[in-house]
Amino acid sequence: MKFNEYVYLRPDFDTIKVGALKLYEKFAQAKSVDEQIELIKQFNVDRFNVMTANVLCSIRHSINTKDEFYEAENNYWDQQGPLYEELTVNFYKTLLASPFIEELKIRMPQAFFKIVEFSLKSFDPKIIGDLQEENRLSSEYQKLIASAQIEFDGKVYTLPQLTPLTQSVDRDIRKRATDARWGFFEKNEAKIDEIYHDLVQLRDNIAKKLGYNNFIELGYIRMMRLDYNADMVNVFRKQVLSDIVPVSKKLFKRQQERLGLDKLLHYDLSFEFTSGNAKPIGDPDFIVDNGRKMYHELSKETADFIDFMLDRELVDLVSKPGKAGGGYCTYIADYQSPFIFSNFNGTSGDIDVLTHEAGHAFQVFSSRHIEVPECMWPTMESAEIHSMSMEFFTWPWMESFFGDQAQKYRYSHLGGAIKFIPYGVLVDHFQHEVYAHPDMTPDQRKSTWRTLQKQYLPHIDYQESEFLEKGTYWFQQAHIFQMPFYYIDYTLAQICALQFFKRIQDKDETAWKDYHHLCTLGGTMSFTGLVKAANLKSPFEEGCVSSVITTIDHWLEGVDDKAL
């Protein structure tokens, strides 16, 4: 079946609820652990049905936010989602009351009961109304960003469509396109401030209703930080400041010199070379065809995977009006199908999608044998290891996409990973400050962002943008609005991916085997458990960052960037 043949059918909640209540009763009366295991499998089938409908709606709504049917269905899931969640939470409670609990813990994946524990800690029927409102505000932000229609030099662009112009070789075009982009956010500043202020107040209130001191505590639980805490994250932050920021500053200095600029201003940051950034040498069909060839040559596992994805049309790649921004991978459970969503725009980011989001898709494709919904995907920071590492495993094929610009791409890609880490840590640190002080005004939040930004990204110069100088860059970071505390994940995973990069450089023949093994484990283990299973070092260990940065710095120093 092709994706457009996948059937969306809104479940009948009352029927689902009656079935769940009967199953709880049977479970409580079960006479053996085997009987309970079979009932768990039955419940999981019902949950996969609900998840399938929810995900199909979400995908089709994001492909066209103007589609009235799927907008109405999206509103249904915003309202009904917490009620389905309540059914699962009640099942968890029944599960934990089992007289066979110790045997169940042996029979179920290692991480499952920790996830159950955290789910119970983050939900109570008394917050259902608040969760519905949180969903509504999150959708309001997404719709606002997707609504952008930006006039520039006689044409109208969405935010993703404007991106290539912000990377133009012509500095005047680059500046004006960047100004036009941020002009949209400035025009909507009051509305964005209002949405985020309401979200912060709401999340703080939810946390306090559940008995927590603030949303930071609840945020870590909601993100399933199964085996680390804010103190451990702080250890990692310090390593980034001491080991990554100096290398990042050096890269920006090299960028300024090869561009021949007296000052590297904010609208120059995404422009790497006077000859232009590396761009794909073909259209989306060319990229997809070469992607299929690449994954066939990489391994048998990736060959099977890419044929599955492309033959079933489980990708929607090209930017178009009304389409939600960004890119993601999700999973349609009843069809055992990953799905990749993106906004191709003719930049090197198109290839990043083909490797990054495909890394996510390959992981869930590799772990689709896992019958427990909670454990098909790992927690977020673990999931990003698969995506970011796939970017490096596919390096040998970059000539297929970039031709003689392949080395330019590799330099930008690896350098970009190093430049990104301080930004990712900044986003996380900012959210800690926001939720530690939920009564901050919108202006105080902006000031907090700018103060932290100067610490992690000291190279940024906003002298020609009053709007950005006051601390509004984070307005475009959807994670801050829609998935609080989901960002440190990228930086933790990046350090793990860079360890794979180092192993590839060192000609370690076990690197791919460890990576594939990691993908098959899904979310059956916690973050540090998965890292260990892949023979990687935990980012929370002192010295982890410094153990990889020397190899990376050496590789970057070995490239004559001015000749690219």
- Torsion sign across C-alpha atoms 19, 20, 24, 25: negative
For residue 327, being part of any structural domain is answered with no
pTM: 0.88
pLDDT at position 108: 94
Which structure tokens are listed for 432?
Answer: 């800690």
For residue 345, being part of any structural domain is answered with no
Q: Which residue, among 519, 531, 550, 523, has the nearest Cα to 492 in the 3D structure?
A: 531
Angstrom distances, CA of residue 34 to CA of 19, 38, 219, 245: 20, 6, 35, 54
DSSP state of 326: S
For residue 388, being part of any structural domain is answered with no
pLDDT at position 179: 97
pLDDT tens-digit profile of 298-313?
999 999 999 999 999 9
Number of structural domains found in the chain: 1
Return the ∠ at Cα 269 (arms to 265 and 273), rounded to 5°. 110
Q: Which position has the higher pLDDT, 345 or 248?
A: 248
Compute the average pLDDT of residues 410-434.
97
Note the helical H segments in 336-441: 349-366, 380-393, 398-402, 406-436
For residue 157, being part of any structural domain is answered with no
Residue the block writes with tokens 């994706």: 3
Classify residue 441 by burial, with Cβ atoms within 10 Å: 0-12, 13-18, 19+: exposed
- Residue 7: other Cβ atoms inside 10 A: 10
Domain range spanning residue 38? 3-108
In angstroms, the CA 263 to CA 259 distance is: 10
**Band of pLDDT at residue 326, cut at 50, 70 and 90:** confident
For residue 66, being part of any structural domain is answered with yes
For residue 331, being part of any structural domain is answered with no
For residue 309, being part of any structural domain is answered with no
Residue 365 phi/psi, 5° resolution? -60, -40
pLDDT at position 277: 87
In angstroms, the CA 394 to CA 305 distance is: 15
pLDDT tens-digit profile of 501-542?
999 999 999 999 999 999 999 999 999 999 999 999 999 999
pLDDT at position 47: 95
Compute the average pLDDT of residues 89-100.
94
Mean pLDDT score of the chain, rounded to an integer?
Answer: 96
Contact 224, 118 (CB under 8 A): yes
Compute the average pLDDT of residues 459-487.
96
488 has a pLDDT exceeding 90: yes
For residue 355, being part of any structural domain is answered with no
345 has a pLDDT exceeding 90: no
